[in-house]
Structures are given as structure tokens and as C-alpha cells.
A = this chain, B = another copy of it.
Amino acid sequence: MVVTYRVIYGDTDCGGVMYYGNYLRLFEIGRTELLRARGLTYREIEEKEGLILPVVEVHVRYKAPARYDDLLEIETRVTEVAPHRVRFEYEIRRGAEILARGYTVHAPVNRKGRLTRFPEDLRRRLSALVQS
């Protein structure tokens, strides 16, 4: 799943490039749109399942800077689904050039704020996203 993103002034810093923290916004956009494209939205997961999916781990490797007005591609994949976690991987590109790669790991938490397992149906739907 690939979505595009146009870099604005508000994403950049005085080094002339996208601020390193803002790549985590791109990752959020990537995973949200990947889920939406498969008929799953965070909002629904929250409301129907009573689950939230907080990030428990993030890693980014920055290879080349994104700059103002660049039209970026965000490619997102689900690479692991386990009872207590799901892992997304991201690649940020400008044309053929890879600017950054990263991953996030999320753990399902219920309304009481406790770690829980994915409900069977949701886990199956997430697992269907894992690419071989």
C-alpha cells in the first residue's frame, strides 16, 4: 500500500530538511491508510472492539533527507501479527530514492488500559494483511 504526502514548511526544520520526529507522522498516515484500504479503521477498532493500539516500539533509519515541497511516497506493510502485537514496516521514498525505513510495533490495550489479546476476528483480518 502506497500513499503520497507533500512536505510542508511545518514539517521541516532550520536544517532545511524534514524534522526527524515528523517521519512518525508519515508512518501514522501510512498504517492508517493501509488499514482503511482493507476496510479497517482505527476509529472502528476503538469503538467496536474497545481496543486501542498504542505504539510500544519505533525504529527509523534515515538515509537521505526529505525537503520542502517534496512529493513523498509512504509504503506500508504489516509484517507480523501475534496475539499481543502487530508490526508495521515503512519505506519513505522520493521517486526511486529511499529516504527512510522504519517499523512500529503496537500492542492491543483494552478500555481499562490493560494489555490484551487481539479478538480472533480482528487478528484474522490483520493477519490477512501480512505479505509473504
Query: Which residues of A line the B interface, CB within 8 A?
Result: 6, 8-10, 12-17, 19-25, 28-29, 32, 41-43, 52, 54-63, 65, 67-69, 104
Contacts of A9 in B (CB 8 A): 13-15, 19, 28, 42
Main SS class of interface, A? mixed
Contacts of A10 in B (CB 8 A): 13, 19, 21, 24-25, 28
**Most chain B beta-carbon neighbours within 10 Å: one of A19, A22, A25:** A19
**Which 9 pairs, one residue from A and one from B, show the smallest C-beta to C-beta distance?**
A21-B24, A12-B14, A9-B13, A20-B55, A10-B25, A59-B59, A21-B21, A43-B69, A14-B16
Contacts of A59 in B (CB 8 A): 57-60
